[in-house]
Amino acid sequence: MAAIRYDAAAAEAYRRAREIPRDGLTAWRAAIGASARLAPGMTVLDVGAGTGAFATAFRDWYGVRVLAVEPADAMRALVPADDRIEVVAGRAESLPLPDGCADAAWLGSVLHHLADLDAAAHELRRVLRPGGRVLVRNAFPGRCSRDLRVRFFPETAAGIDDYPGVERVCAAFAAAGFTRLSLESLPQQNAPTLAEFADRIRRDADSKLASLGDARFEAGMARLRSAAAADPAAPATSWMDLLVLG
């Protein structure tokens, strides 16, 4: 699958096209709150923080401090740093952080970008305090049929087949001392309607869509526009997995 190079244009496209509106994440807020055992003042590590959409959500939802680790300069530049969001240049495989500095870690749509999953799992064990949980939000092979992109662009499922699977991820984390605690699919509302979702789609912001040829991309857009016209009030609901390890 074509990798996205997160330069300034791609970072801005990501911010505009891929960040989920905060009010579309109600189920995620509840599920994270139930499983992460967060309290105000704790520190959450956001690994592969991108433009900071989840860093700001964690700060606002749970009153925590966030260490937002992100390798791409252009993505980091868009993270709204403040007294509770510290932005750090770095990669999951070699975190530039001291031992035991965080109470939980969040990896949002980043697993499939990692060059070395095993090294990342060991780094997370090192920087998390005992009992700290790792929350992984990702598409997994064989579990992505309710992803809106897969629904309208079915060829994207083949790309997700190359992502690390649930068992592979759990094995990497088990070797680093983590146990699988839960796995659930959660809904998110990408846009109020399918038409608005279609308007927001940017191929250059999404490695799955960027990999499609023109004909397949246009065919998917036609399917999406047709579904939007058939049911104008239908919300653009997509599903992704939350895997919790601890």
Ligand X SMILES: C[S@@+](CC[C@H](N)C(=O)[O-])C[C@H]1O[C@@H](n2cnc3c(N)ncnc32)[C@H](O)[C@@H]1O
Report the interface residues with ligand X, using CB under 6 A: 6, 47-50, 53-54, 70-72, 75, 91-93, 108-110, 113-115
User: N- to C-terminal Cα distance for the chain?
Assistant: 31
Residue 84 DSSP label: T
Nearest-approach distance from CB 83 to ligand X, in angstroms: 21
Output the residue with the shortest Cβ distance to ligand X.
50
Nearest-approach distance from CB 92 to ligand X, in angstroms: 4
Nearest-approach distance from CB 29 to ligand X, in angstroms: 14
- Complex with ligand X: residue 50 or 164, whichever CB lies closer: 50
Question: Which of 178, 176, 144 lies closest to 161, judged by CA?
Answer: 144
Task: Look at residue 44 and give its three-state secondary structure.
Answer: strand
Can you tell me the distance from the alpha carbon of 246 to that of 242, in angstroms, rounded to the nearest whole number?
13
Q: Which residue carries 């009153």 as its tokens?
A: 63
- Complex with ligand X: residue 59 or 91, whichever CB lies closer: 91
Nearest-approach distance from CB 41 to ligand X, in angstroms: 23
- Complex with ligand X: residue 91 or 151, whichever CB lies closer: 91
- Complex with ligand X: residue 48 or 132, whichever CB lies closer: 48
Q: Which positions ≥6 away from 216 have C-beta within 8 Å? A: 153, 155
